[in-house]
Amino acid sequence: GTTQSGVACKAALGQAVVASVVCKPQGELGTEEFKMDFSEADKPISPWHNIPLEAGNGLYNMVTEIPKMTKAKMEIDTKADFNPIKQDMKKGKVRYYHGPIFWNYGCLPQTWEDPNIKGDDNVGGAFGDNDPLDVVEIGSATLEMGSITAVKPLGVLSMIDDGELDWKLIAINANDPKASEINDVEDIEKHYPGTVSGIREWFRWYKTPDDKPVNGFGHGEKALGKADAVKVIEETHKHYKDMMSGAADKGKLWTP
């Protein structure tokens, strides 16, 4: 079936676009054939390129790839036409986490971590991971795969995975009952205790069952606050715009 995506309450500029996006699953979940396509007015669109980054009022649109408490490693296919959501493949098999992720996980449209740009000393000079900016959404509701949700940025962790910088934006659904009380990274502990350290440890350890080393973090492993999170969003949006204008090399990524 097709699901209309949710629209933030008090829908601001840009949200009308989101209200008309339809996502449609094709093929069987858990197989290489599965994909979730996005369209608007019966025309195919890309969840990465055609959904606005900003949702108005300091909020941003998040595309959910992996709903909380699920294990299938779903992601926007940045190299395929119109960037459908597909299950990641490793050695010819569809990929699963070894245990569920405890938060909704997705990315921000129109952002990109440029692999040609070297990070500063805080991240050990790691280069971008060539993907849109990842989002870990900590609210109480489960967000469906393919849904588009206005989120409030709260903080950011600079994860370093195999020498690549892979920022994890920590955010909350703008419609979460606690959203109005959680405005920065310090507020998370008060309302959802253990969440920030939980996210850090989950991402530190999740690849170790595959005989991979633990992941590291820059900035002394600290979760940076909202102001830094917004800076990371702006920086990855700038990298994205540079890719679209041809100022940065997009390699094999698909662009409209």
Chain mean position to CA 122? 22
Contact partners, residue 36, CB within 8 Å, separation at least 6: 23, 24, 25, 26, 84, 85, 86, 145, 146
Which one of 60, 96, 97, 240 is the catalytic residue?
Answer: 97
Is 97 an annotated catalytic residue? Answer: yes
41 vs 190: CA distance, rounded Å: 43
14 vs 25: CA distance, rounded Å: 24
How does strand 3-4 pair with strand 164-173? unpaired
Q: Tell me the torsion sign for CA atoms 59, 63, 64, 65.
A: negative
Residues catalogued as catalytic = 97
